Structure 1
Amino acid sequence: MQTFRIDDSPLTSEYGIQIGRWERYPDADALPFGAMWCQVPANSSSTLDNHPEVELAVVVGGDATFTVDGRATEVAAGTAVLLRPGERHVITAHREPVRVLSLYWLPDAQGRSDD
């Protein structure tokens, strides 16, 4: 068994927030997806992002606003947000920091994301 804790992950500044990429953990490169911890400080937002990967963002702490292609949605801890390739998104934290587990992968050649 192996555990992955956000508090054990060295965080770096990327996308206007703090990121802890799982490739820094031993043997995490054997996973069939990429993963990273994301921490958005209170009263701040990530920078606008979009990418070719499918992303499953699971809010594990705090309440956030996900603005996706201009549409804002309030998201509480315990909620997962599925982002499709190319969707432009920003994560905003309000009065408290937000912690997110991001899992991502490239869709197959037919554009499916196995969902």
Structure 2
Amino acid sequence: MQTFTLDESQLSQEYGIGIGRWEDHPKKQPLPFDAMWCRVPAHSESAPDEHPEVELAVVVGGTAVFCVDGAEVTAGPGTAVLLSPGERHVIKAAEEPVRILSVYWLPSAAGSGEAG
């Protein structure tokens, strides 16, 4: 067993928010995905982002507003948002900080429906 704990004192500033990448921690075995803790301060938002990875963002604290390609969805603790490759997104926090576990991976040719 191994644990990965959100330690806000060790977050770096990226995309206008606090980020703690799991790749910075030693692992007992390779993981089939990448992951990071994210903290969006109250009354702020992340910088716009889009990437080739699939991203599963799980809200673990606070209430986030995900703005994705012009649409908005409010997500409270326990809500997961699945972002497809290339979707431009911003994460907003209102009255309280938002904490998110982001799990992401490059889609495989078999899983993406592309011939390979």
In the alignment, structure 1 segments of 5+ residues that lack a partner are none
CA distance in 2, matches of 1:97, 1:7: 14
Conserved 8 A contact 1:9-1:20: no
In the alignment, structure 2 segments of 5+ residues that lack a partner are none
TM-score (norm 2): 0.91
Per-residue deviation at 1:7? 1.8
Aligned position for 1:56 = 56
Percent pairwise identity: 65
CA distance in 1, matches of 2:8, 2:96: 20
Aligned position for 1:77 = 77
TM-score (norm 1): 0.92
Q: How many residues align?
A: 113
Per-residue deviation at 1:20? 0.2
Q: CA 1:9 to 1:22, structure 2 compared with 1: closer, same or farther past 3 Å?
A: farther
Per-residue deviation at 1:111? 5.7
Larger radius of gyration: 2
Aligned pairs for 1:1-115 within 5 A: 1-7=1-7, 10-27=10-27, 30-110=30-110, 112=112
Per-residue deviation at 1:9? 7.0
